[in-house]
Structure 1
Amino acid sequence: MDEKFAVLGAGSWGTAFAKVMADTGREVTLWARRRDVADAITERRENPEYLPGIRLPDTLTSTSDPRLAIDGATTVVLAVPSQSLRHNLTAWRPLLVPDATLVSLAKGVELGTLKRMSEVVADVTGVREDWIAVVSGPNLAKEIAEEQPTATVIACRDHDRAVALQQACSTSYFRPYTITDVVGCELGGACKNVIALSCGMADGLGFGANTLATLITRGLAETSRLGAALGADPMTFAGLAGLGDLVATCSSPLSRNRSFGARLGRGETVAQAQAAAHGQVAEGVKSCSSIRELALRHGVEMPITEMVHRVCHDGFDPREMAGELIGRKTKPER
């Protein structure tokens, strides 16, 4: 069967990942929800909505018709927000070819079900878990689209599928590694958005590098605790899908979650911060609640996640967050 690649979701990360695959010489079809975005990508070789000024390869085409994008695709990349994945995938399921590799770019935990994205994909499609891959790591879309050197992680239970995807997105500027620890890869990607919100709040409050380093390090500790409870490989959190993604997302102004948190730290409400995001999704705002519930279900202590949830959903003042965290009972680091 000839290879055909479809990327469903023309936001900044979906577009950047489609560009990466097209830069390897593959023919890639990018599905955009809006026809004007699809037309701009095909005709002007640019996504002016999400990656203005970035020229897209000629082998990348776009459509607003999911049937045209998915038809015959042997690899389908899912690049829609985590909380809308189930709804979209339910509509796309009849279009998928048998034995297609399904790749999740979304980083979150589904509200209500508390499922990771690969679990949502398996639940909706009924495909075998080893046909599902996830991509995580320091994935700031704008930098990747600008071809700044970076590495990422492709996780799949089927090592051969991970290697095939690795080959399909290896470029001079984008270096993918493979692992089989899907659980750890997904938890690292989901939890880092929540920790980035806390780092943004700290920045908005005027705190400096010590506070940022503390939140990153203790955030990694609570992510690792949750991972251990769910059977993840602890080494995953020391790698690109753990520490790498966490550092990039918590420290860069390009991070939507960090920027959202900074607005909250400066005194804006959640509604005001959402309005300022202009349609860009800060995944951690919703995922903080599902990750918190997941931690409670497994008896895992995640104090930073708890504080972020209280700020985003219970009206807790970010200025109180530092006192609450510092004032917790002292204990050994490990």
Structure 2
Amino acid sequence: MDLFTLLALMFLLPAAAAEEIVKFVGDDVILRCEAGDGFIRAVEWTRPDLKEGEYALFYRDGRSIPTEQHESFRDRVQLVDRQPQDRNVSLILKNVTNNDAGTYECRVYLGGSRRKKRAAFKGELFQTIGLTVKDRETVNLTVSPGDNVTLRCEAGDGVIKAVEWTRPDLKKGECVLLYTDGHTDLTYQHESFRDRVQLVDRQLQDRDVSLILKNVTTNDAGTYECRVALGASRRKKRGVLDEEPIRVIHLKVIDRDSPDGIHINGWSRKVGVGLGVAAGVAAGVLVSGIGYLIWKHNQAKAERFPPEDVTFEEWWSA
């Protein structure tokens, strides 16, 4: 085959763009695919490792065909647009598991397009997507006030478009740090983190998207989530990534120099209250014990008869 023929085939055949997506167990994922021009007769989402005739989803005549679907995808998949508009034949896969990892192919059967007749009834490959499913990483980290701490996080394969560090207790649209387009975006950063946070590597080499938090205070204690937008990932207009966290870090702040010897995330007050209650209970027990001993002493005296030369009042008060 000469070079001219090879180039001609490259232009005539529909291109199948490859994309890599990393998700965590329990996440929902959208596998994006856009069909070519022409009437969409059928849509097929499949994986090469499935048996012939089995699909993640098979859509035809305006509806999904469950009889053609592999049982592991039942009630977990659907098209983003069940009446495909704007050529959008993307697939929603819910509650992913480790078994969902693999390569997904989006094929579309087109009719009425300007293609050869034999191609009008042939499912054409428009997209291939590699899905990786990981177990979510959760880390517990303890530091002292005044420390500088590094919250470790590593992105998956693909071009890093944006990085976000956030906390669930922040208001919608607020974050610890948002890095996009090669710089830190201060628009959405909570004021308490101004001038105290930065990425370990602003050039994002070796997939390192770790965060440095300087001069830690007890108010910094909480849960931190690391999110990364890779490749064609989309970002919400409000500036916070529409991605699931790839790492969750629970940060505790301990003040070992506090008066009561412990101060964890503002818990010293609770500890003090607990100690006060315990002291009160102990005092009550002590008073009760002394009263009981006095009562026993008096009871013992009452059981003895006073001497004849001593009045009862003198004997009792002795």
Task: Identify the structure with the greater strand proportion.
Answer: 2
TM range (shorter): under 0.3
Greater percentage in helix = 1
Using the size of structure 2 for normalisation, the TM-score is 0.24
Query: Radius of gyration: which is bigger?
Result: 2
What TM-score do you get using the length of structure 1 for normalisation? 0.23
